Chain A
Amino acid sequence: MTTAELVDMVTVVIDGFEISVPKGTLVIRAAEKLGIQIPRFCDHPLLDPVGACRQCLVDIEINGRAFPKPQASCTIPVEPGMIVKTQLTSPVAEKAQRGVMEFLLINHPLDCPVCDKGGECPLQNQAMSTGQGESRFEGVKRTFEKPINISSQVLLDRERCILCARCTRFSDQIASDPFITLNERGALQQVGIYEKQPFESYFSGNTVQICPVGALTGASYRFRARPFDLVSSPSACEHCASGCSLRTDVRRGKTLRRLAGEDASVNEEWNCDKGRWAFKYITSAERLTHPLVRDSAGDLQEASWPEALAAAVAGLGGKQTAVLVGGRVTVEDAYGYSKFARVALKTNDIDFRNRATSDEEREFLAAVVIKSTPSYLDIDRADSVLLVGFEPEEESPIVFLRIHKQVRKRALKVTAIASKLSIGNEKLKSNFVCVAPGAEPAAIKVQELTSKSIILVGERASESAGSLSAVVSLAKESGAKIAWIPRRAGERGALSAGAIGNLLPGARPVNDTEARVDLAAAWGVDSLPSQSGLSSDEIVNAANEGQIEALIVGGVDPLDSANSQQMLNALKKAFVISLEISHSDVTQLADVVFPVAAVVEKSGSFMNWEGRSRSFDLAVESFQRSDLRILSMLADALNAPINLPTVKSAAKEFDSLGMWDGAGAEFTSAPPSGPISLGNNEAILTSWRRLLDEGSLQAGEENLAGTARKTVVVISPTRAQAIGVVDGDQVSVSNAHGSVVLPVLVESIHDDAVWLPRNSRGSHLLATLGVASGSVVTVVKE
């Protein structure tokens, strides 16, 4: 860490109290530090000061010279010799504030009893503290048609709006999605959209949260509850590796909404719409409630826990077993799987990477990522950011917001190595290094970085052989930091917990005898398996070939796998124990199914891309057990106890293990693959998952799905001309597996490439084409 930065302090007097605050602090915030609350609406600490609502007027004098009129305390930075009198000590400020409040209320409807904001409304609260009980306004209030949908997810009641412009400033300054604006003028001024372009921003929900009145509401929460009937719990988001702090609001055991929590060092006060509005999967009709066991006729039947455990033990009996863990496990659950594999199954055949992977990636994770300590602060301080196999807006939206903040604040240089220019990269004004899919390594090598640069590497970098190796050597030469940002919330934690074949918990290399002995001692077992485990692809192959006869599968969707058909075959062939929230393609094929708790139904923690722990408590009471608890029961039943009966015990044990301080794994470079030659109408497939798509955790969220980006095939102008299509024409993308037909969008993409969303409505590449990137497909006009 660097030494504490020296900050100039300024001393001011507010309502007779002296306080020293850093230079540049706004008067309104200096007052907050004294516990003096100046009423405000347009002010928001993360938005540029605007001084529009005039609610925060105070009297100010500087070195004996008084301002002739009250000043907006949200726009004035402190100065030496400043004396501030707020409503508490200045009758002028008090009357000014009362006057502004009266003006705000003349056109505000008295519909608090039916307004969602009632009970948590800054206008309501401050009208009580700063307003007068009786209105002097006897005229005609402004009315509008109500409400209007500004997207499928957000509704606007214009007559409630007090025109503080928080929402429009957020969409412009923070999200760079200026699809809502202030329109018209004067008393007719109103928030609005262009009629044909709805407010489809991945971050739109934040505007609902920061609206100081009930003007913006979310379709899925509107009229559902009163704030005082809700029980709130701090929680962590399970949707990606950004690591947002959230608040989950529950009424009578049902999650009604989730809000962005405040965490200055991670998500500040924002989150994305997926984190906010995708939680119905918890209450889906497909939820599993009881264990299931396949009967002699081959049908799954509900069973008691002892029956299911017995069936599991019997099925496993002596079989060579491997563990496949999904990327959404908590750290504690991942630790449970990790320990279960080593202690109960005596194998290192475990992998959390149920997606396209490579051995190069596994080495990269064990040698580089496990020891790295990147953070959001590195982005704040970076002289440049390099994006490799990573689309921040789609794959880790809060990372996107943080980069964007620095781009806006100080024109941070961003370079993206990709085959297609994304909307997110346009917003980041990125230098777009356009390469053919597979040609990334050469482009990475020539980047000029410094020791203050940061390379943000996504999980898709593993899909281009040699990319990670190029990243490692670039970082070595330049001193730049590497941050690996997987898409799912559980992967970074699963890596630390050792849910991978080459690492034990706490960065202990499997092939390091000392490390194994150390861990065996801590676990109180004689020894640990010494052979490096198989990767997920290898496990699937081995299962198909009969070398692995049983699989323990937790939170895995076969359609995420790089080779889903192989995976399904493996599941059919092996004895399968499935730990799942809901009925799925895996439970369909499993022999024993254990229902598990969803995130809100348990406590635990995630580890975000920084390696920062994001712990959460149970928000919803449930009778469901965590994966960890079930694994512990199963281990007991196998007479190979892992002794992790509770989340707390797992967290404590994992913590006490600490990080291995011995030598780490060495990284061995992998070569890039050769160039791909293309025939007529052939292209190399490239894709990524969009933030809002057909992901299983978004199931049932129709309002949210309505704001997803349109599903299109993207090709370059050259290719468009060659196959004779223009924007909107239907195009077919096909290979031996199948074909996808979608409207085309001609955009900035490498001539050799064709892009489709990986898992969106009408475009499920892994299911339809069997591949998602890097392979040759045929692109023709339909």
Chain B
Amino acid sequence: MAFTDKNIETMDSIIARYPRPRSAIMPLLHYVQSIDGFVTAEGIELVAKKLDLSTAEVTAVSTFYTQYKSKPVGEYHVGVCTNTLCAVMGGDAIFAALKEHLDIENDGVTADGKVSLEHLECNAACDYAPVVMANWEFYDNQTVQSAIALVDGARAGNPPAPTRGPNVLPTWKENSAVLAGLNDGHAHEGVQAGAPTLLGLEISKVKG
């Protein structure tokens, strides 16, 4: 997709956040994904031009970080944590079930382009294990059934809301813009904390 003048303006505002332009490469790549869905050749060339870098230097960065995708992902990118704790607690079973249910492998995308699947490393929500992420929103305490409901909902265009996140699951591109540092106005939505987060506080209050 072509980048519009408005897009370029946004990129300039991202660059302006930093004392040195090169620091903006990561938000710019997130931003490229919010327009193109993944890190396209056009995106790399544009970022290189904006930051006065070689295209190789941009490639070096974009291929280092796993959130930057070199090929399209689904409108809803689903990640299943299969690091030890989540895997043991059910993440492996969930991941296996989703692969079978969607008939895709790790890093695969469904034919309708709606859902892609990836196994994740630890996502800092171990007290909510097993954890599934969709477009990097938390789906806590998942089961095989709830995860299948998530991807089925996503394919039907009405995914369930995240456990700790906005009221409606944004698309991959929409959330990529958030990761580029753009405010989508949904910060106030969702809970301030889930039950495990509050467990110690609750116990302390009960005990006085």
A194: chain B residues at CB < 8 Å are 44, 54-56, 58-59
By Cβ-Cβ distance, the 3 closest A-B pairs, closest first, are A181-B60, A194-B55, A183-B63
Q: What 12 new A-B contacts, CB under 8 Å, besides A179-B54, A184-B63, A194-B55? A: A178-B56, A180-B56, A181-B54, A182-B60, A183-B60, A183-B63, A185-B66, A192-B59, A193-B59, A194-B44, A195-B41, A197-B56
Complex Cα spacing A192 to B45, Å: 16
Chain B residue nearest to A199 in the complex (CB): B56
Query: Within 8 Å CB of B64, what residues of A?
Result: 183-185
Q: Provide the bound-state CA to CA distance between A181 and B61, in Å.
A: 9
- Return the contact of A178 from the options B45, B57, B63, B66 (Cβ within 8 A): B57
Instruction: Provide the bound-state CA to CA distance between A441 and B59, in Å.
Output: 44
Query: For residue A197, which residues in chain B have a CB less than 8 angstroms away from its CB?
Result: 54-56
Which residues in B have their C-beta under 8 angstroms from that of A180? 56
| Chain A-chain B contacts (Cβ-Cβ < 8 Å), number | 40
A162-183 to B contact mask, C-beta < 8 Å, 1/0: 0000000000000001111111
The 23 listed contacts between A and B (C-beta, < 8 Å) are A178-B53, A178-B54, A178-B56, A178-B57, A181-B54, A181-B57, A181-B59, A181-B60, A183-B60, A183-B63, A185-B66, A192-B56, A192-B59, A193-B56, A194-B44, A194-B56, A194-B58, A194-B59, A196-B41, A196-B55, A197-B54, A197-B55, A197-B56
Where the two chains meet, the residues of B that have a C-beta atom closer than 8 Å to any C-beta of A are 41, 44-45, 53-60, 63-64, 66
- Which residues of B sit under 8 angstroms from A196, Cβ to Cβ? 41, 45, 55
CB distance from B79 to the nearest CB of A (A): 17
**Residues on A with beta carbons closer than 8 Å to the beta carbon of B41:** 195-196
Shortest beta-carbon distance from B2 to chain A in Å: 16
Q: Pick from B45, B53, B54, B59: contact of A183, CB below 8 A.
A: B59
User: How far is it, in angstroms, between the C-alpha of A195 and the C-alpha of B62 when the chains are bound?
Assistant: 14
A136 vs B44: C-alpha distance when bound (angstroms) = 42
Q: For A178, what are the chain B residues with a Cβ–Cβ distance below 8 Å? A: 53-54, 56-57
Shortest CB-to-CB span from A464 to chain B, Å, is 31
A180 CA to B58 CA in the complex, in Å? 11
CB distance from A560 to the nearest CB of B (A): 34
Smallest Cβ-Cβ distance to B44: which chain A residue: A194
Cβ-closest chain B residue relative to A426: B52
B56 contacts A179, C-beta separation under 8 Å: yes
A179 to B56, CA, bound (A): 5
Task: Find chain B residues with CB under 8 A from A182 CB.
Answer: 60
Q: Which chain A residues border B57 with CB–CB below 8 Å?
A: 178, 181
| Docked pose: A184 CA to B63 CA in angstroms | 5
B191 CB, min distance to chain A CBs, angstroms: 34
| A192 vs B54: C-alpha distance when bound (angstroms) | 13
C-alpha gap A184/B54 in the complex (Å): 17
B126 CB, min distance to chain A CBs, angstroms: 23
Q: How far is the CA of A184 from the CA of B57 in the complex (A)?
A: 12
Most chain B CB neighbours (cut-off 10 Å) among A181, A182, A185, A192:
A181
Inter-chain CA distance A178–B41, complex, in Å, is 18
B59 contacts across to A, CB distance below 8 A: 181, 183, 192-194
Chain A residue nearest to B55 in the complex (CB): A194
Kindly list chain B residues whose C-beta atoms are within 8 Å of the C-beta of A177: 54
- 0/1 string, A219-235, CB within 8 A of B gives 1: 00000000000000000
Shortest CB–CB separation between residue A156 and chain B, in angstroms? 13
Shortest Cβ distance from A198 into B: residue: B56
Q: Shortest Cβ distance from B46 into chain A, in angstroms?
A: 13
Interchain CA distance A196-B45 in the complex, whole Å? 10
Instruction: Give Cα A627 to B55, complex, Å.
Output: 49
A180 and B56 alpha carbons, distance in the complex (Å): 6
With both beta carbons as reference points, the residue of chain B lying nearest to A181 in the complex is identified as: B60
B63 touches which one: A179, A185, A193 (CB < 8 A)?
Answer: A185
Bound together, the chains give a CA A181 to CA B44 distance in angstroms of 14
* Interfacial chain A residues near B58, Cβ < 8 Å: 194
Which residue on B lies nearest to A190, using beta carbons?
Answer: B63
Nearest CB on A from B206, distance (A):
46
- Given the complex of chains A and B, what is the CA–CA distance between A181 and B60 in angstroms? 6
Contacts of A183 in B (CB 8 A): 59-60, 63-64
In the complex, what residues of B have CB within 8 A of residue A181's CB? 54, 56-57, 59-60
Q: How far is the CB of B134 from chain A (nearest CB, A)?
A: 24
Bound form: Cα–Cα A442–B13 in Å: 41
Q: How far is the CB of B164 from chain A (nearest CB, A)?
A: 29
For B59, give the chain A residue with the smallest CB separation. A194
Q: How far is the CB of B65 from chain A (nearest CB, A)?
A: 8
The minimal Cβ–Cβ distance linking A348 to chain B, given in whole angstroms, is 52
List residues of A (98-116) whose CB comes within 8 Å of B's CBs.
none
Cα–Cα distance between A119 and B14 once the two chains are bound (Å): 52
B56 CB, nearest partner CB in chain A, Å: 5
- Inter-chain CA distance A223–B149, complex, in Å, is 59
Q: How far is the CB of A685 from chain B (nearest CB, A)?
A: 29
Distance of A194 Cα from B64 Cα, bound (Å): 14
Complex CA distance for A268 and B183, rounded to whole angstroms: 53
CA–CA, A195 and B48, complex, Å: 14
Cα(A195)–Cα(B64), bound, Å: 16
A197 CA / B63 CA spacing, docked (Å)? 16
> A181 vs B54: C-alpha distance in the bound complex, in angstroms?
10
Residue of B nearest to A188 (CB): B63
- Complex CA–CA separation, A185 to B64 (angstroms): 5
**Minimum CB–CB distance for B40 against chain A, Å:** 12
Residue among B53, B56, B60, B66 facing the most chain A CB atoms (10 A cut-off): B56
Closest B-chain residue to A185, C-beta based? B64
Shortest Cβ distance from B62 into A: residue: A183
Give Cα distance in the complex from A780 to B44, angstroms: 33
- Expressed in whole angstroms, the Cα–Cα distance for A183 and B41 within the complex equals 15
A180 to B60, CA, bound (A): 9
Closest to A168 in B: B60
B45 to chain A: which residues have CB within 8 Å? Answer: 196
Chain A residues near B63 (CB-CB < 8 A): 183-185
B44 CB → nearest A CB, Å: 7
How far, in whole Å, are A179 and B54 apart by their CA atoms in the complex?
6
Expressed in whole angstroms, the Cα–Cα distance for A195 and B54 within the complex equals 12
Q: Tell me the complex Cα distance, A185–B59, Å.
A: 12
Identity of the chain A residue whose Cβ is nearest the Cβ of B41 in the assembled complex: A196
A181 to B63, CA, bound (A): 11
**Assembly CA distance A712 to B125 (angstroms):** 57
| CB under 8 Å from chain B, chain A span 315-374 | none
Which chain B residue lies CB-closest to A176?
B54
Minimum C-beta distance from B8 to chain A (A) = 17
How far is A181 from B41 in the complex, measured between Cα atoms in Å? 16
Complex contacts, A185 vs chain B, CB 8 Å: 63-64, 66
Q: How far is the CB of A727 from chain B (nearest CB, A)?
A: 12
A610 to chain B, nearest CB (A): 33
Q: Would you give the shortest CB distance from A613 to chain B, in whole angstroms? A: 39
Instruction: Write out the residue numbers on chain B whose beta carbons fall within 8 Å of the beta carbon of A184.
Output: 63-64
Which residues of chain A are near B44, meaning CB under 8 Å?
Answer: 194
Question: Which residues on the A side are within 8 Å of B56 (C-beta)?
Answer: 178-181, 192-194, 197
What's the Cα separation between A297 and B57 when bound, in Å?
64
B43 to chain A, nearest CB (A): 12
For A179, the chain B residues whose CB sits under 8 A away are 54, 56
Residues of B near A192 (CB, < 8 A) are 56, 59
Task: Report B-chain residues with C-beta under 8 Å of the C-beta of A195.
Answer: 41
Cα A195 to Cα B44 with chains together (Å): 11
- Determine which residue in B41, B55, B60 has the highest number of CB atoms from chain A within 10 A of its CB, and name it: B60
Q: How far is the CA of A196 from the CA of B48 in the complex (A)?
A: 13
Nearest residue, chain B, Cβ from A172? B57
A184, B61: Cα distance in complex, Å? 8
Q: Nearest Cβ distance between residue B62 and chain A, in whole angstroms?
A: 9
Which of chain A's residues have a CB closer than 8 A to the CB of B60? 181-183
Residue of A nearest to B53 (CB): A178
Expressed in whole angstroms, the Cα–Cα distance for A574 and B57 within the complex equals: 58
How far, in whole Å, are A736 and B59 apart by their CA atoms in the complex?
A: 48
Q: How far is the CA of A178 from the CA of B60 in the complex (A)?
A: 10
Measured CA separation A182–B54 after assembly (Å): 13
Q: Mark A417-444, 1 if CB is under 8 A from B, else 0.
A: 0000000000000000000000000000
A182 to chain B: closest residue by CB: B60
* Bound complex: CA A196 to CA B58 (Å): 13
In the assembled complex, the Cα of A193 lies from the Cα of B59 at a distance in Å of: 8
